[in-house]
Each structure stands twice: as C-alpha cells, then as structure tokens.
Amino acid sequence: MAKVKLTDLMKEKQLLSFELFPPKTDKGMENLPGTIEKLCEFKPEYISCTYGAGGGNVGRNREVCQEIIKAGTVPVTHFTVIKNTKEGIKQQLEQYLAEGVDHMLALRGDIPLGETTTCGDFDYATDLVAFTRKEFGDKFEIAVAGSPEGHIACRSLDADIAVLKMKQDNGADYIMTQLCWDMEQFKVWLDKIRTAGITMPVDVGIMPILDQAATINMALSRNGCVMERELARLISKYWLFPNPFAAKDAEGKPFDMFYEQKVKDFKEAGIEYTIKQIDAYRALGVDGIHLYALNKWQDVSRIIKESGMRTLI
C-alpha cells in the first residue's frame, strides 16, 4: 500500500500541492532543487511532475521525483499510455516503486502530432488504471484527470462522467481536475459526478494567470476551456498589439509602445484573479488546491500568502 495515502489526508483537511515539469535544459535542472525547496516552505502535501509522451523525458521526470523526496514531500508522477506497451508500463512502474515513488496520475496523454492513436497497447486512462491495479494491487495511490467542462474528445459531458465513473470502478483513488475558470459549470459538474455515484475526492488544478499568451494557449490548445467574462476582460484590457503571440519584432523589440507596463499590469490583475478563484474553490469545499507552479516559486509564493492558504509560521 502507498506509504502516505493522500485520500486519508483529504478527510482531515484541504490539501495544497504543486505541479512541476521536467526542465528541458541542464540549467533548468540546476535551478529546480532551489525552486522545490522554496515551494516546500509551504508544507505542500505533495508535488506532481509531468511526463513526456512515451516517457520521452522519463529520466528527467524520475530525477525531479527524487528531488521532491529529498525536499521532504510526496512525489506524484504523471504517467501516460502514449507509445507505451504493457511490458514497458510494468517495467517503468516497478522502477518508480523501487525509487520510492508510489503515487501516480494515470492519463491517456496527448496524441502525438500527426498520429491518430496512442501508438501503444492502451487507448484510454481507464485501461491504465485497471492494468496498474491488476499488476500492482494497492502499491500505488492513483489519481485520474477530471474535466469539469467535459474532455474535448468526448461526445458529451455525460459520456465523460460515465468514463470518470469507470476510472473509479477500475480502482482510481481521487480526481485531479483540468483547468476550469467557469465556476457555475464546475458546480454543475460536481453535482453531476456525485449523482453518478462518483465518490472520489476532488483536487482542483489551477494555473496562475501571469502571462496573456500562456493563458490563451493553455485554454485553447488542449482543453477547450471557456474563458469566463472577467478573464476575457482582463486580457482585452491589457491586450498586447498586434497580439500576445507575436508582440515583438525579429530583433525582440515590442510593437506595442505600452508593452512593459501592460505586461506588469496584466500580471498584477492576473494574480488577483487567481486568488479570487482559489477563494471560490475553497468555499465550495473541494478536497485540495493543485497549483501549476510553472517551475517558478516567486509568484506562486505570493499567491499562497495573499490567499491565506498557508502562512509561514
């Protein structure tokens, strides 16, 4: 059985956790331990780490997990079925266990560019959950993704909820949600999953709003997230002309004469927006707040302090 059961902790309190990604550069890897140390000052219950398609960055992912253990908290590795065989999955999971990593977020993962399938033995996260339980019993605590607006590949919200119920039936322990800025939709989804008999705790994924292009990209490139009115208003108010994705010329000079000020003001407004969003989720009684730290600590630390989620004593 997983040494620390996060779902047991969720019965006692609302958890705080972070998501990191394996840096692509050596410089990034050098900076990461310091970032993890700073984030661990807030005593997070766990830190998750993303995982490339087919474990493309699995070596770096495992390194990050070890840094998380060294810093004194629980690592949760993301794990996808993309380009993975049953045998490969089994070997990798055995390696994680041997290295003291016994928590995972079971995902299908993003279909590789130019492909139409997962290019592996499994097509869905439901299969990965069932396989992990069959091979490893309760050695892993398994989180699964939940989409409050419905997964973009699913034909309807109801179909998506049926799949989530199947993940629970196959042995998943708790839900980590995809981004959702639409609080009314989130409430509808929460009611619907409970009606469907899904009893798993809900840990909410939140991306700090710090940068216009990153926010738009995260909403539309993967998840088809609705950008609710206030967030759309903020992006419009501080819009970088001609657009946030091409705001500088070939020499790196901004086209928008107010570029620096707008970037600064948007970040301030975005941090305030993120804090209000955290307030709203906490007031709903969710089981945890999972902040995408984007491998940075300054802005995230400020958000935690100002939201009052954790105080440094």
Query: Helix, strand or coil for residue 28?
Result: helix
Report whether 7 contacts 173 (CB < 8 A): yes
Say whether 12 is catalytic. Answer: no
Q: Which two tokens stand for residue 226?
A: 């609705």
- Rounded Cα distance between 147 and 163, Å, is 11
Query: Which listed residue (12, 19, 63, 230) is catalytic?
Result: 19
CA distance linking residue 203 with residue 154, whole number of Å = 21
Residue type at position 307: S
Burial 221-260 (b: 16+ CB within 10 A, else e): eebebbbbeebeebbeebebeeebeebeeeeeeeebeeee
Q: Which residues of 53-75 are buried (b: 16+ CB within 10 A; e: fewer)?
A: bbbebbebbbbbbebbeebebbb
**What CA–CA distance (Å, rounded) separates 301 from 271?**
11
Please identify every residue annotated as catalytic. Answer: 19
